[in-house]
Amino acid sequence: MTEEENEDLFDDVNDIEISDETGGLYEHLNLVVDKKQEPLRIDKYLLLFRQNSTRNKISQTCRAGNVVVNGKPVKQNYRVKPGDEISVLLAHPPRENVIIPENIPVNIIYEDDDLVVVDKEPGMVVHPGFGNWSGTLVNALAYHFEQNGDKSDLDRVGLVHRIDKDTSGLLVIAKNEYALSFLAKQFFDRTTKRLYWAFVWGNVDEDEGTIRGHIGRHLKNRMQMAVYEDGSHGKHAVTHYKVLERFRYMTWVQCKLETGRTHQIRAHFKHIGHTILRGINLPKYKQFVQNIFDVLPRHALHAHTLGFIHPTTKKEMFFESPMPEDMSTAVEKWRNYLSNNG
């Protein structure tokens, strides 16, 4: 194939979708093989489109079932033919800098050769990035792996999903390319089992409900996410919720995300008039609430459950994280307040 024909290959990429599930960790490619293409192993063929990748990464992506040709998963030795319709899901862990191991306590609740499950404390950034080059969960895990003789390379593999700095709760981190690809597909396909707990302002009207509305960057404040019901901006987003307990001025809700947009729970509940509990929203007429923020100054959001299929055993794994101390203390304060004030 000539250099000119090779350049023409890029015209055959019909769609490249970057998932914003916790920040663009996956890349979804849909493409059709050119009519002039000679038979070529698919692992070599895909490198024509993703030259910054490796054959090993493509191989493990195939092994995980994330390379589909004409509707069927294929192995890395499959030879592409003219007209083949190819769909690829690639996992892309953040690579802002070299990961420096740091001796930071981290609550690991499960670990094996393929993955580690962490119950993250609130206030910890998940991975290094602008403004947070150290002190992150990934730095802590790099140190943990180093101390235990684990050769997992967190510069190359690792995150398949994220939660915000202020959010507490469960995360799974892959320890090799195959596990990364296998887990990434489950998060991309929404087959994982995850529930969040949140405290929101006000008394939510319905015991159960669904919030729908496109979520995208706010048109005036690009640091915030906003909801666009008419679909004029952003991406389709759906949040299902269930009320767990009511505290007159605050409601404890359980959330299940049908989609995974950036700050989805925050944006959806703010849109329906029930902002996530946080200190900056202090009602001046309720001094008692100040006591809540003394113990819970962060966004009151917790990743409560996590379920997925294990990459190697193919068995379902399920984890639950108890309510963290700051949120449970806030609950007790609310209950005491209501019992003493009718």
Asked if residue 122 lies in contact with residue 177, where contact means CB atoms within 8 angstroms, the answer is no
Structure token pair of residue 272: 């329906």
Euclidean distance between CA atoms 248 and 340, whole angstroms: 13
* Cα(244)–Cα(324) distance, integer angstroms: 16
Question: Which residues, 6 or more positions from 115, have their beta carbon under 8 angstroms from its beta carbon?
Answer: 172, 173, 174, 175, 179, 183, 310, 311
> Residue 309 in 3-state DSSP?
strand
Instruction: Go through 59-92 and write b for each residue having 16 or more CB atoms within 10 A of its CB, e for each that does not.
Output: bbbbbbebbbbeeeebebebebeeebebbbbbbb
Helix/strand/coil for 134: coil
Q: How far apart are CA 149 and CA 138, in angstroms?
A: 16
Helices (H), the chain: 3-8, 42-47, 55-63, 137-147, 177-189, 264-271, 288-295, 325-340
Secondary structure class of 291 (helix, strand, coil): helix
What are the two backbone dihedrals, phi and then psi, of residue 276, each rounded to the nearest 5 degrees? -60, 135
Evaluate whether 154 touches 138 at the Cβ level (below 8 Å): yes
Q: Is 114 among the residues known to form the active site?
A: no
Please tell me which residue in 34, 84, 119, 164 is annotated as part of the active site: 164
**Three-class DSSP category at 17:** strand
As annotated, the active-site residues are 164
